[in-house]
Amino acid sequence: MKPVIRAKKGAALLDSLPAGAVVLDRNGHAWQQGGIYRFWGEQHGYWYRSYGDDSEVTAREIADLAPFTVLHPRKDQP
């Protein structure tokens, strides 16, 4: 069974995933974390839709699309 991220702590849990992680939102859209940055000592990531949308959004911006199903924790993991 794939891990599921719920809405209550969605943004924090999305931010905790490593760069390259892929998740599905409640609508079945895939999102990939494009990179990680640190702000005030906390890890944050930029997220992109998998089908070519070039706009980057933060985990807080997509948290309303929870629950998320984690497909791949990282690109290099099967």
Ranges of beta strands (E only) in 2-78 are 4-5, 22-24, 30-39, 42-49, 57-58, 68-72
User: Whole domain around residue 18: which residue ranges?
Assistant: 4-64
Euclidean distance between CA atoms 27 and 74, whole angstroms: 21
Give me the pLDDT at residue 8, please.
58
**55 lies in some domain:** yes
User: Is 16 among the domain residues?
Assistant: yes
Examine the pLDDT at 52 and tell me if it is beyond 70: no
pLDDT for residue 13: 82
| Residue 78 lies inside a defined structural domain of this protein | no
pTM: 0.72
Count of domains forming the chain:
1
Domain for residue 75, yes or no?
no
2-11, 42-51, 56-65, 68-77 — most confident range? 56-65
